[in-house]
Amino acid sequence: MIEIVETDIGTARLTWHRAQDARWVMAVSHGAGGGVEARDLRALAGVLPGHGVSVVLVEQPWRVAGKKVAPAPKTLDAGWRGVWPAVAGMGLPVIAGGRSAGARVACRTATELGARAVLALSFPLHPPGKPEKSRADELLGAGVPTLVVQGGNDPFGRPGEFPEGGFELVEVPGADHGLAVPKRSPLTQEEALKTVTDGVVRWVASLG
C-alpha cells in the first residue's frame, strides 16, 4: 500500500508492507544516492512481515520530486519528522531505520521522535578515504538500542573501524556500501542478503 504524506519540505511517499499480526513497525529510508529499490530494503520488506514486523519504506521528498542530489542533513531530518506521525499512528513501537544517509537521520532523531530502536544499514562512518572525518558521534548518540549492518569492504567504514559503544554490529563479509558482494566472494548475493535479514530478525526478537 502506498501512502502520500505532505511534509514541511514537500511530498513524501510511504510504501507499506504490513505484517498480519504486527508487533512492530519498522520505518526505513534510503540513502543519498538511491531509493527504496535498494537490495537490502527490498529484502527486509520481503522477510520481516513474516516475523511480526510491518515495514514501511520511506521516500524522502527530494527523491519523490525527482531530484538527483540529496539536500542538507537538517532538511533530511525535517522530511523524516514530517512522516513520523503516519509511521507512529499504528499505535505500535517503531524502529527507525535507514541506509547510509538515512541511517544518519534515524540516529540523529531517534530520541526526539520516540523511536524504540534504530537499524543502521551501511552507516557512513566517514567519507571514503577520510577516516579522520568521523560521524561516530551520531551513531553513539542515538540513545536507543541500535543495530549496524555493515559490509566487510565498505569504503565508508569497515566493521573493524567502528568504535566500541552501545550498539550491535552484523558484518556482511566482502560486501560493499550497497551490500553487494563480488562474484569471487564465498557468499552469493542471496546469501549476503540472508545474512542481513537473519541478523535483523534476531535483533528485533531480542528487543522484547
pLDDT tens digits, one per residue of 43-76: 999 999 999 999 999 999 999 999 988 999 999 9
Q: Give 2-65 as a DSSP string.
A: EEEEEETTEEEEEEEE--TT-SEEEEEE--SS--TT-HHHHHHHHHGGGGTEEEEEEE-HHHHT
Nearest to 119 by CA among 134, 135, 100: 100
Percentage of the chain beyond pLDDT 90 is: 94
**pLDDT of 181:** 96
Set of cell numbers at residue 120: 543502521
Q: Which residue shows C-alpha cell 562512518?
A: 125
Task: Answer whether residue 28 shows pLDDT above 90.
Answer: yes
Task: Answer whether residue 38 shows pLDDT above 90.
Answer: yes
Task: Answer whether residue 152 shows pLDDT above 90.
Answer: yes
Secondary structure in 3-state letters for 144-158: CCEEEEEECCCCCCC
Cβ pair 104, 53 in contact under 8 A: no
pLDDT tens digits, one per residue of 187-202: 999 999 999 999 999 9
Whole-angstrom Cα distance, residue 151 to residue 176?
5
Q: pLDDT band at 186, cuts 50/70/90?
A: confident
Q: pLDDT band at 90, cuts 50/70/90?
A: confident
